[in-house]
Chain A
Amino acid sequence: MLRTEEMLLNMGPQHPSTHGVLRLVIKIDGEIIREVDPVVGYLHRGTEKLAEDLTYTQIIPYTDRLDYVSAMTNNYAVVHATEKLMGLEVPERAEYLRMITMELNRVASHLVWVGTYLLDLGAMSPFLYCFQDRETILNLFNELCGARLTYNYMRVGGVKWDAPEGWLQKVEEFVLYMQKELATYHDLISGNDIFLQRTRGIGIYTKEQALSYALSGSNLRVTGVPWDLRQHQSYSLYHQFQFEIPTGETGDVLDKYHLRMQEIEESLKIVKQVLDVIKEGPIMGKVPKVLRVPEGEVYTGVESPRGELGCHIVSNGKNKPWRLKFRRPSFYNLQILPELLKGENISNLVAILGGIDIILGEVDG
């Protein structure tokens, strides 16, 4: 017998497919992974602590930088929690605009996932196609709020800008275009045998595991739990609209891919429905000039593209929160990684890690 030895491989924080600055310390035996130890915190900026010294309006630009591929949802999380604590009424048009932007942002976020995931698997072109379509969404946001990534669009009590002239038509055009364009993605990716080979049966976990690790979002739904905060703890005006909650069957990465593609479709459906009912009106509710949030505590969860994005505010009646805590879904979802990777081949590592869909800005907070 030849003597074999376990090798310690340090993957990241500068590695092409850890999606940022995640570090994985891997014990490998040949190409088989024995143990994984994720090290997080390289992108920690202390958003929660900083928020204690910021007024509620000032926190909003900081949330843009948590999950930077779906900043609209982050904006909404903190705005929504504050509104709930203050008991504010938000005008209908503002809520509709919020929903349109959030759902478009979900589409953009999932497109980034599809693209980067295929890039992890070694295919270049889907990445650029996804980014082209995402670009359309970013341009729409740019027209709406003047930034492509860090929107700072929502305000406590409404939104900053009303839709510019012709913007809603452009959104509708995009929705129609994207609904057709999805077929191209399926042609390019879904039928690709190599893609199927790489993803089928990889990274499977059970419903019980998922729940015990507090997974949420598509990582939970893929195990067959139809849990979506948009329906189950309905916020904004989602209860007015019809949409399905896609769930997975086998729970592998291929299922996650199909699930996220279906979520794109559902999001587009929601946007379409909102566009049908949106009316002219005020975009800002009656908000005092200085936001003093009454003493109390509130937790609200919103369905971000990655899972339950919670915002817990403890207020002591001042214009700044006494404590603010984000439940950052990427951070929770990442915890299951060591368990999933045990005994896998090292080339499955990127396939599984990519499947979880983490954003390091959110993991590290």
Chain B
Amino acid sequence: MDLFFYLGPIILMLLLLGFVTYAILFERKVIGWIQNRPGPNQVGPWGLFQTIADVAKLLLKEDIVPGKADRALFKLAPIIAFVPAFAILAVIPFTESWQFGDFAVGLLYYIAISSITIIGILTGAWASNNKYSLLGGMRSAAQMISYEIPLVLSVVGIVMTTGSLDLNDIVLAQKKVWFIVPQFLAFLIFLIASLAELNRTPFDLPEAESELVAGYHVEYTGFRFAFFMLAEYVYVFAMASLTTCLFLGGWLPLFGLTMIPGILWFLLKFSLVVFSLFWIRATMPRLRVDQLMQFAWKVLLPLSLLNIFLTAIFKEIPVLSSFY
């Protein structure tokens, strides 16, 4: 047990790096297929080593700190951005037994810790002393704080149903029916808000390539840039895992196919979520910054409040209450 206590996170870290490596490849492949091209296919068979080559390039690059930058903060920022991204993985239940920190307020922990990343992004944006990155950082902070609210409120319905913030309990409560069915509205809100939290298209304003060149990490190169990218993809991993746990029944099998191990079910649902993230990215244009804010406060927030209200009412209706 003790050994696992120390080795577990390292194994997870390695798995995570593997995931990030192949998530990036998968993303580029999916977008390639959507655009009728094969995607990366030159490095290794089927492009399997493309990301490894990219990462090696990033690591070998000269580490440039701009002359006018705030050196200490500039170097600290990628770490602040990445550490919480990794820390939140502790509470994700991959299967019944594969979970690192099983505690009663897992969901709350996830949401609380993930907000810390914004500080890292804002620090990096400020410390770069670049106008584009500052604009990107400001957008990022405004966006992530705004979308955190509908994100949290959308899962309140689930918490009301299960009466628990423990992700294990939430998964187990979906034995009968996944929460995507009774909480469909919440699912939509959660999906949109999580896209915004992940800074992905159509909400990739902080790094809006066509406006801000690269947004908050415009001055970053080499492995510091790699850290920001890593944080972003670890969040994709974490958010897709959370979506799977909250709405798609985690490791629970479909149609009672219990002979397939839970981890495979988890991975299957997880990949589906990740695919849809990439799919949306390939299709959508980007929102405008003021519309983004309006959308969070005027559309998503009232809707998520409505969802809470509806859940409360349905809980009292005799026929429906078995679902809630």
Q: Which positions in A face B, CB cutoff 8 Å? A: 7, 9, 15-17, 31, 118-125, 128-129, 132, 188, 192, 194-195, 197-198, 345-351
Q: How far is the CA of A347 from the CA of B289 in the complex (A)?
A: 7
Q: Mark B232-251, 1 if CB is under 8 A from A, else 0.
A: 00000000000000000000
Tell yes or no: B175 within 8 A of A by CB: no
The reply to whether the CB of B288 lies closer than 8 angstroms to some CB of chain A is yes
Q: Are A194 and B202 in contact (CB under 8 A)?
A: yes
Chain A residues near B281: list those with CB within 8 A.
Answer: 124
Partner of B209, one of A16, A345, A351: A16
- Most A-side CB within 10 Å, residue of B131, B209, B210, B289: B210
Provided the pairs A122-B202, A347-B205 are in contact, do residues A194 and B284 lie with their beta carbons within 8 angstroms? yes
B62, chain A: closest CB distance, angstroms: 20
Residues of B within 8 A of A15 (CB): 213
Tell me whether B287 is interfacial, beta carbon within 8 Å: yes
Given contacts A120-B210, A125-B34, A198-B285, 19 further A-B contacts (CB under 8 A): A15-B213, A16-B210, A17-B210, A118-B285, A119-B210, A121-B210, A122-B204, A123-B286, A125-B35, A125-B283, A128-B36, A188-B283, A192-B284, A194-B285, A195-B285, A345-B288, A345-B289, A346-B135, A347-B205
Chain A residues whose C-beta falls within 8 Å of the C-beta of B2 in the assembled complex: none
Flag whether B114 is at the interface (Cβ < 8 A).
no
Please give, as numbers and ranges, the residues of chain B lying within 8 Å of A17 by CB-CB distance: 209-211
A17 to B286, CA, bound (A): 14
CB contact between B286 and one of A125, A188, A194, A348 (< 8 Å): that residue: A194
A198: B residues at CB distance < 8 A: 285-288, 291
Q: Are B282 and A31 in contact (CB under 8 A)?
A: no
Nearest CB of chain A from residue B172's CB, rounded to whole Å: 38
Inter-chain CA distance A111–B156, complex, in Å, is 46
Given contacts A31-B135, A197-B288, A198-B285, whether A122 and B210 have CB atoms under 8 Å apart is yes
Q: Would A346 and B285 be within 8 Å (CB), given that A125-B34, A125-B35, A128-B37 are in contact?
A: no
Contact with A along B203-225 (1 / 0, CB 8 A): 01100111101000000000000
B269-299 interface mask toward A, CB cutoff 8 Å, 1 = contact, 0 = none? 0000000000001111111111100000000
- Most A-side CB within 10 Å, residue of B131, B205, B209, B211: B211
Q: Tell me which of B36, B204, B209 contacts A132 (CB under 8 A).
A: B36
A123 and B288 within 8 A (CB): no
Cβ contacts under 8 Å, B291 to chain A: 197-198
Chain B: minimal CB distance from A30 (Å): 8
Cβ of B201 under 8 Å from chain A: yes
Interface residues of B (CB under 8 A from A): 31, 34-37, 131-132, 135, 201-202, 204-205, 208-211, 213, 281-291
Rounded to whole angstroms, the CA-CA distance of A132 and B202 in the bound complex is 24
Please report the C-alpha to C-alpha distance between residue A10 and residue B285 in the assembled complex, in whole angstroms: 24
Q: Separation in Å of the A299 CB from the closest CB of chain B?
A: 38
**Residues on the B chain within 8 Å of A124, using CB:** 31, 35, 281-282
| Pick from B132, B135, B286: contact of A121, CB under 8 Å | B286
A197 and B34 CA atoms in complex are apart in Å by: 24
Bound CA span A351–B289, Å: 13
With A and B bound together, what is the CA distance between A129 and B35 in angstroms? 7
Q: Closest CB-CB distance, A198 to chain B, in whole Å? A: 6
Kindly count the residue-residue contacts between A and B in the assembled complex, taking CB atoms under 8 Å apart.
79
Do B290 and A345 touch (CB < 8 A)? yes
Give the residues in chain A near B135, CB-CB below 8 Å.
31, 346
A9 B131 Cβ-Cβ under 8 A:
yes
Q: Known A132-B36, A194-B202; judge A122-B289 contact (CB<8 A).
A: no
Max chain B Cβ within 10 angstroms of own Cβ: one of A7, A124, A349: A124
Q: With CB as the reference atom, state the residue of chain A lying closest to B286.
A: A122
Residues of A within 8 A of B211 (CB): 17, 346-347, 349-350
26 residue pairs A–B, Cβ–Cβ below 8 Å? A16-B209, A16-B210, A17-B209, A17-B211, A31-B135, A31-B289, A122-B209, A122-B285, A123-B283, A123-B286, A124-B31, A124-B35, A124-B281, A125-B35, A128-B35, A128-B37, A129-B35, A129-B36, A132-B36, A197-B287, A197-B291, A198-B291, A345-B288, A347-B289, A349-B211, A351-B288
A164 and B170 CA atoms in complex are apart in Å by 69
Could you tell me the distance between the alpha carbons of A124 and B34 in the complex, rounded to whole angstroms?
10
Q: Specify the chain B residue showing the minimal Cβ separation from A120.
A: B210
State A125–B286 Cα separation when bound (angstroms): 13
Query: What 5 A-B pairs come out closest when comparing CB atoms?
Result: A122-B286, A123-B285, A17-B210, A121-B285, A128-B35
Give the most central of A118, A188, A198: most B CB within 10 Å.
Answer: A198
Chain A residue nearest to B32 in the complex (CB): A128
Distance in Å: Cβ of A317 to nearest Cβ of chain B: 51
Docked CA distance A263–B197 (Å):
40
A188 CA to B37 CA, complexed, in Å: 18
Which residues of A are found within 8 Å of B132, using beta-carbon distances? 9
A365 to B285, CA, bound (A): 32
* Residues of chain A contacted by B286 (CB below 8 angstroms): 121-123, 194, 198
Residue from A125, A188, A347, A348 in contact with B208 in the complex, judged by beta carbons closer than 8 Å: A347
Pick from A7, A125, A197: contact of B131, CB below 8 A.
A7
| Pairwise interchain contact A347-B288, C-beta atoms closer than 8 A | yes
**What residues on B are CB-neighbors of A348 within 8 Å?**
288
Q: In this complex, what residue of A is CB-closest to B214? A: A16
Interchain CA distance A188-B282 in the complex, whole Å: 11
Tell me if B213 and A16 are in contact (CB < 8 A). yes
Q: Residues of B contacting A123 with CB < 8 Å? A: 201, 283-286
A346 to B281, CA, bound (A): 22
Q: Determine the chain A residues whose CB is within 8 A of the CB of B208 once the complex forms.
A: 122, 347
A125 vs B35: C-alpha distance in the bound complex, in angstroms? 6
Cα distance A192–B291 in the bound complex, in angstroms: 15
Q: What separation, in Å, do the CA atoms of A65 and B211 have in the docked complex?
A: 27
Other-chain contact of B284, A16, A122, A345 (Cβ < 8 Å): A122
B40 CB, nearest partner CB in chain A, Å = 15
Query: Which of B34, B36, B210, B285 contacts A192 (CB under 8 A)?
Result: B285
Contact B209 A194 (CB under 8 A): no
Closest B residue by C-beta to A195: B285
| Residues in A neighbouring B209, C-beta threshold 8 A | 16-17, 122
Residues of B with C-beta under 8 A to A350:
210-211
